[in-house]
Chains A and B, each alone.
Chain A
Amino acid sequence: MIKFEKITKIYNKLKVLNEVDLNIEQGESIAIMGPNGSGKSTLIKSIVGLVKPESGKIFINNIDIKSTVDYKRIIGYMPQIGRYPDNLTPKELINLILKIRNEPNISFPEELIDTFELQSHLNKKMNSLSGGTRQKVSVVLTFMFQPNILILDEPTSGLDPYMALKFIELVKNRNQNGTSVLLVSHTLDEIEQITRRIVYLNEGIKLIDDTVDKLQSATHTNNLNSAILAKIKEVKNEIE
């Protein structure tokens, strides 16, 4: 479904992504992990065209993403920070995105708005909303088109624990219905709940690409954190 072919991205002479190859099948849920500056966000941003790689190709359903923008119709992208124009309301923003996408079967997402308790905030200006509420607006904007691919960049960072749980349930539910999920997160609990495959990047290089089950059995531990650390150590030793 999504195929990265030797993706390289350079910022100020620094290789943020170094010939990364990755295949993601329909319905898979993958966590992209790694230390700060390892290229996680750069990798997922390159799918939606926010980052332009220096070399390599990305295919979505066998279509080279450089050739069109229409492939974005099947993608829901949730950024790390939900900061939107100060003087507009969530309702106006949702309507704008609805107009831009112009999907015939999609109407105003009342159900999502109810789930994330946004009803009373719909007509308030963005600059009067808290960071958490703006993040809920991001959730609605990401999920309202029933996308086939969900790209989530630290999605629960501004959400309160109750809303974070609701969010995780929503993602799991969509994933069970066949939506592919790419999650960038530092929260292991969230990763364990949502994803079944771990991709670990370090200095732009893919160090780990394995399922959670395989990682845990290979390292003889049920603790994901310990499993990842053990695997990193193993891979680094192999490289050296």
Chain B
Amino acid sequence: MKLNNFFNIVSFTIKDVSRSKWVFLYGIIQFVLTLLLINLSDDTNKTIVSLLNLTIVLNPVICIVFSTVYIYNSREFIELLIAQPIKRNTIFYGIYCGLSLILSSILILSILIPFLINFTQDFTIVLFLIGSGSMITFVYIALALAISVGFDDKATGLGVSILAWLFFAVIFDGIILLVSYILSDYPLELPLIITSMLNPIDLGRIIVMLKLDFAALMGYTGAVFEKFFGSFFGISFSLLTLILWIIVPLLIGSRKFKVKNF
């Protein structure tokens, strides 16, 4: 992979996406909501919990939908790039990094600036929220790329992307809850830890909640996590699993992209 070309594509994607009105709107909405939540409560931890739920629901759906549409709309541009003396991997990872950097930067700024304006004292937990939100951004953009490369039809790809978000944000927890209820007589700690690894949103939530030490608010999987690992190992383990959640879809996407017909 020639680094110059990689950075050219990253900066080009950043330039293109940063001028999108939708991305601007997303940043403004996140900024205003963060500002509102900060001013509604004096307790930073409570604000973080509210903001966490917002970030975990809003951020993934925006990232996955925007990135999926972006890839489909960039088809002819990608064709132009492939026709140049440049490897397909450079194009794929260049676009991924460009999208991830700009969308995570918007998330970071729209959360960080309101906290800075309000002179928040405890910044560690804000940084954890931002870190967790950024990781989820990276995961969902990787998923979007894998999906949009895998399906030629835009409507199908968009449908699968929305379904992926819906599954991890809503359906997954419902299934876990139902299974836990049905099998409540059995020891479920280990299976629950393993299943929680299968949901990036849960992992992002666990990272912030373990730092906050709000066991009661963590949900069943989070509580099990704290009991099993403790805060430090729980956070590290979640973080490593989230990294896997970025790498695996990216590898699948790049392998498909290498042989894709345009």
Interface residues of A (CB under 8 A from B): 9, 11, 45, 48-52, 69-73, 75, 77, 79, 81-88, 92, 96-97, 99-102, 125, 141
Set of chain A residues within 8 Å of B119, measured between Cβ atoms: none
| CB contact under 8 A between A141 and B80, given known A50-B262, A85-B16, A87-B20 | yes
A134 nearest CB across to chain B (Å): 9
Set of chain A residues within 8 Å of B77, measured between Cβ atoms: 83-85
For B84, the closest partner residue in chain A by CB is: A100
B80 touches A73 (CB 8 A): no
Contact of B79 (CB < 8 Å), options: A73, A79, A87, A96: A79
Contact of B76 (CB < 8 Å), options: A48, A75, A82: A82
Interface mask (B213-257 → A, CB under 8 Å = 1, otherwise 0): 000000000000000000000000000000000000000000000
Q: Which of B69-90 contact A (CB under 8 A)?
A: 73-77, 79-88
Contact of A96 (CB < 8 Å), options: B12, B87, B261, B262: B12
Set of chain B residues within 8 Å of A81, measured between Cβ atoms: 76
Task: Name 8 interchain pairs, CB-CB below 8 A, sorted by A.
Answer: A50-B79, A51-B262, A79-B76, A84-B80, A88-B15, A97-B80, A97-B84, A141-B80
B73 touches A100 (CB 8 A): no
- Cα A102 to Cα B86 in complex, Å, equals 11
B5 touches A100 (CB 8 A): yes
B214 nearest CB across to chain A (Å): 41
Set of chain A residues within 8 Å of B88, measured between Cβ atoms: 49
Set of chain A residues within 8 Å of B4, measured between Cβ atoms: 99, 102
A-B pairs, 9 with minimum CB distance:
A87-B19, A83-B76, A77-B83, A72-B85, A50-B262, A85-B16, A48-B83, A51-B261, A69-B85
For B81, the closest partner residue in chain A by CB is: A100
Set of chain B residues within 8 Å of A73, measured between Cβ atoms: 85
For A52, the closest partner residue in chain B by CB is: B259
Set of chain B residues within 8 Å of A87, measured between Cβ atoms: 15-17, 19-20
For A78, the closest partner residue in chain B by CB is: B83
| CB contact under 8 A between A69 and B86, given known A51-B261, A83-B76, A100-B5 | yes
A72 touches B73 (CB 8 A): no
B7 nearest CB across to chain A (Å): 9
A85 touches B8 (CB 8 A): no
B20 touches A50 (CB 8 A): no
Set of chain B residues within 8 Å of A141, measured between Cβ atoms: 80
In addition to A88-B12, A97-B84, 9 A-B residue pairs with Cβ atoms within 8 Å of each other are A9-B261, A48-B82, A48-B83, A49-B88, A87-B15, A88-B15, A99-B5, A125-B19, A141-B80
Set of chain A residues within 8 Å of B86, measured between Cβ atoms: 69, 72, 100
- Cα A202 to Cα B81 in complex, Å, equals 29
Q: Which of B1-59 contact A (CB under 8 A)?
A: 4-5, 8, 12, 15-17, 19-20
Set of chain A residues within 8 Å of B82, measured between Cβ atoms: 48-50
B9 nearest CB across to chain A (Å): 8
For A16, the closest partner residue in chain B by CB is: B261
B14 nearest CB across to chain A (Å): 11
For B75, the closest partner residue in chain A by CB is: A83
B11 nearest CB across to chain A (Å): 9
B256 nearest CB across to chain A (Å): 12
Set of chain A residues within 8 Å of B5, measured between Cβ atoms: 99-100
- Cα A182 to Cα B205 in complex, Å, equals 56
- Cα A69 to Cα B89 in complex, Å, equals 12
- Cα A81 to Cα B83 in complex, Å, equals 14
Set of chain A residues within 8 Å of B87, measured between Cβ atoms: 69
Most buried by A among B77, B83, B86, B88: B83
Interface mask (B82-125 → A, CB under 8 Å = 1, otherwise 0): 11111110000000000000000000000000000000000000
For A98, the closest partner residue in chain B by CB is: B8
A128 nearest CB across to chain B (Å): 12
B85 touches A70 (CB 8 A): yes
A172 nearest CB across to chain B (Å): 22
| CB contact under 8 A between A72 and B16, given known A51-B262, A85-B77, A99-B4 | no
A52 touches B261 (CB 8 A): yes
For B23, the closest partner residue in chain A by CB is: A87
- Cα A70 to Cα B87 in complex, Å, equals 9
- Cα A73 to Cα B83 in complex, Å, equals 9
